[in-house]
Amino acid sequence: MSAARRLDLKVGFACNNRCVFCAQGDKRERLPAVDGRRLLAELLSARAHASSVVFTGGEPTVHKRLVSLVKGAKLGGYRHIQIQSNGRLLSYPARLTELIEAGASEFALSLHGPRAEVHDALTRTPGSFEQTVNGIRNVVARGVPLLTNTVITRTNLAYLADTVNLLGELGARHLQLAFVHPVGTAYELFDEVVPRLADVVEPLRRARERAQAHEAHLVTEAIPLCFLRGMAELAVEGRIPPTTVVDLGGASGDYTKWRIAEGKAYGPPCNACQARHRCEGPWREYPDKRGWGEFEPL
C-alpha cells in the first residue's frame, strides 16, 4: 500500500436494513460483528500504508465499538475518517455528535428513493426512509462533509431524478448513482433487482439535469462508458482512490486490483471500443447473465 491509499475496514455485517440488493448476502448472519480489539489492531497496523479510512460493513453504526474505533483512527494519525452508513442511527443527534467528536470527518449515506414506498421497499425495513432523510438533514446541519449513494435497481430506476432532486433539496451536493453489483442478495434476486443497462441511460440523463439545477456534483459507478454517451464526465472510476479492504471474515486485499482484474469484465464489443483504456466494463455477473448484446463500441 502507498501512503495515499484508503483503508476499507469492515467492522462486521450486522445491519438494521435488509436490502434486496445487499452485496453481503448471508454474511449478515454469519459474521454480525468483529471483535473491536482485532479491528483496532488492523487499523493501527495499516496506518503506515494508508492515510484515510472508511468504516463499512454491514452497517457500521450498529457496532458497539465504532466510536472507540473512530477515536483510535484519529489518535493513530489517519487524516481522513469516513463513515459509510444507511444513516438511520444518525437521525439521533447524540449519536452523530459522538462520532464527530471522536474524529469522523466525512459521512457517506445511502438513500434509494424519493419517498418511503420506494426506499423502504428496497431496504425491506418500514420507517427506514424517514430515519435516513433525518440522518442526512442532521449531517448537513452540522456542516460535516457529506457524500450520498443511491443504488440503481429496477425498483427505483424511474425515480432517480426525483431522488436526486430530494437530495438537492436536503442540501447534499456530492451524489453518486451506483449500478447494483449483482452479488449476494442481489444475485439471488437478479431478475427482480437488476435493470438492463440500456434502460438506465434516459433516467440518468434526467437525474443529471436535476443535479445541475441544484449545482450538485453527480457521479456514477459501474456504468460502462458506452452507456454514458455525452455524459462520460459522470464516471467515477478514474477517481476512486487506491483501496485496500480488511475483511476479517472473508477476503481482504487490494480492492482496486480485484475490481479491475476480477470484479469487472470486458467482452467482444470492448475489443473495438476506443474507450477501453479508460473504461472498466460492467460487473462481471451482468454479462454472465445477460450477454453482451446491449454493448456498442464507442
Domain boundaries, the chain: 5-264
User: Looking at residue 250, what is its pLDDT?
Assistant: 66
Q: Give the C-alpha separation, 194 to 185, whole Å.
A: 11
Write the CB contacts of 245 (distance below 8 Å, at least 6 apart in sequence).
8, 10, 251, 252, 253, 255
User: Looking at residue 33, what is its pLDDT?
Assistant: 75
Write the CB contacts of 143 (distance below 8 Å, at least 6 apart in sequence).
none
Q: Give the C-alpha separation, 27 to 64, whole Å.
A: 18
User: Looking at residue 7, what is its pLDDT?
Assistant: 95
Q: Are 26 and 128 in contact (CB under 8 A)?
A: no
Query: pTM of whole model > 0.75?
Result: yes
Q: Give the C-alpha separation, 274 to 131, whole Å.
A: 44
Each residue's pLDDT, cut to its tens digit, for the chain (298 residues) gives: 344 789 999 999 999 999 999 998 877 777 777 888 999 999 999 998 899 999 999 999 999 999 999 999 999 999 999 999 999 999 999 999 999 999 999 999 999 999 999 999 999 999 999 999 999 999 999 999 999 999 999 999 999 999 999 999 999 999 999 999 999 999 999 999 999 999 999 999 999 999 999 999 999 999 999 999 999 999 999 898 889 998 876 667 888 888 988 899 999 999 999 999 999 999 999 999 999 999 999 9
Report the length, in residues, of the chain.
298
User: Where does 5-264 sit in CATH, by number?
Assistant: 3.20.20.70
Measured CA distances, 268 to 246, 274, 276, 287 (Å): 34, 13, 11, 11
Q: Are 63 and 38 in contact (CB under 8 A)?
A: no
User: Looking at residue 251, what is its pLDDT?
Assistant: 66
User: Looking at residue 265, what is its pLDDT?
Assistant: 97
Q: Give the C-alpha separation, 280 to 266, whole Å.
A: 8
Q: Give the C-alpha separation, 50 to 259, whole Å.
A: 19
Q: Give the C-alpha separation, 11 to 69, whole Å.
A: 9
Q: Classify burial at 197, counting beta carbons within 10 Å of its beta carbon; exposed 0-12, middle 13-18, buried 19 or more.
A: buried
